[in-house]
A and B are shown apart, each in its own frame.
Chain A
Amino acid sequence: MGGHDTGSHQFTGIAKYFNSYTITGRRNCVLATYATIASLILFFKLKPKKQAAVTEK
């Protein structure tokens, strides 16, 4: 069950690992998307909050 890798796809470079045709390519795209979203969430959670500058009169 699931899509079969067709031998006719000859990808080179990064497309060999990230494409929407082979099952491993699709899996890697999904994992990369999840990793990007997770890292964005972590970045905004861990970003230090700016404190208002105290000005001396």
Chain B
Amino acid sequence: MTLSLFDQFSSPSFLGIPMILMALALPWLLIPTPTSRWLSNRVVSLQGWFIARFTNQLFLPLNVGGHKWAPLLASLMMFLLTLNMLGLMPYIFTPTTQLSLNLGLAVPLWLATVLIGMRNQPTHALGHFLPEGTPTALIPILIIMQTISLFIRPLALGVRLTANLTAGHLLIHLISSAVFVLMPMMPVVAILTAVLLLLLTMLEVAVAMIQAYVFILLLSLYLQENV
């Protein structure tokens, strides 16, 4: 049976049990939890410092009403970051390459921000559809465009994460296959390709962190408009 390049992204199952559940549970098993001791160890202290600093930076521009989202967004950031980074290791499945998972995260959270805005401050929420100072002739067109862009947001959020991670994994797969194929025939070219693979892997580590951050940042921006 010939394997296609996208077979690595098919959701694994064993005896009818979806193994993605194990992959999703992995971050929560690996991330250390603070103990009841007065002084934590170095790893837990570092993790606590990182989470506190990240949450502080993220929620700086938000009103006090939006601060109740801090536990949700901070934990989602750790979750996505861990999933993305773990997926870079060989033979580990990356759940964030699944569009269903990413849309399942993006759509409810985006919808929550929209409903919060419509419920708490409907005038401001509707006013966002028309930028201030728009010329009169452009008003209807701009309102339609802003409405379309509002509904595109959850799709863009989900697809951005999926596409970036899928493309990165695919490139790593292709270039590593090229290294193996070229090694017996053209060793020098294979070594250069291996150097390229090393650089690409470093890029993918950065992309894994950045894409998790961008997902959360955009959600906080959507919340900022509505809270």
Complex: A36 Cα to B127 Cα, angstroms: 17
A53 touches B (CB below 8 Å): no
Do residues B227 and A30 form an inter-chain contact, with CB atoms below 8 A? no
Taking A20-B133, A20-B136, A26-B132 as contacts, is the C-beta distance between A33 and B127 under 8 angstroms? no
Q: Known: A20-B130, A20-B132, A26-B132. Is A2-B143 also a contact (CB below 8 A)?
A: no
A-chain residues with CB within 8 Å of residue B130 when the two chains form the complex: 20, 26, 29-30
Give the distance in Å from the alpha carbon of A34 to the alpha carbon of B150 in the complex. Answer: 14
Task: Tell me whether A1 and B127 are in contact in the complex, defined as CB-CB below 8 angstroms, given that A20-B133, A20-B139, A33-B143 are known contacts.
Answer: no
In the assembled complex, B22 has its CB within 8 A of some CB on chain A: no
Given contacts A20-B133, A24-B123, A33-B144, contact A2 B139 (CB under 8 A): no
**In the docked arrangement, what's the CA distance between A27 and B128, Å?**
8
As a 0/1 sequence over residues 136 to 161 of chain B, the CB contacts with chain A under 8 angstroms (1 = contact) are: 10011001100000000000000000
Q: Per DSSP, are chain A's interface residues mostly helix, strand or loop, or mixed?
A: helix
> Among the interface residues B123, B135, B224, B227, which one has the most CB atoms of the partner chain A within 10 A?
B123
Q: Tell me whether A31 and B126 are in contact in the complex, defined as CB-CB below 8 angstroms, given that A1-B63, A1-B225, A2-B121 are known contacts.
A: yes
| A8 → B minimal CB distance (Å) | 13
Closest chain A residue to B146 by CB distance? Answer: A30
B144 — which chain A residues lie within 8 A by C-beta? Answer: 33, 37
- B contact residues, total (Cβ < 8 Å): 24
The closest CB in chain A to the CB of B225 belongs to A1
Q: How far is A20 from B142 in the complex, measured between Cα atoms in Å?
A: 11
What's the least CB distance linking A28 to chain B, in Å? Answer: 9
The answer to whether B124 touches A29 (Cβ under 8 A) is no
| List of A residues within 8 angstroms of B122 by Cβ | 27
**B133 contacts A27, C-beta separation under 8 Å:** no
In the complex, B134 has a CB within 8 A of chain A: yes
| Chain A residues engaging chain B, CB cutoff 8 angstroms | 1-3, 20-21, 23-24, 26-27, 29-31, 33-34, 36-37
Which positions in B face A, CB cutoff 8 Å?
63, 121-124, 126-136, 139-140, 143-144, 224-227
Which 8 pairs of residues, A with B, have the shortest CB-CB distance? A2-B124, A26-B127, A20-B134, A26-B130, A27-B126, A33-B143, A23-B127, A30-B129
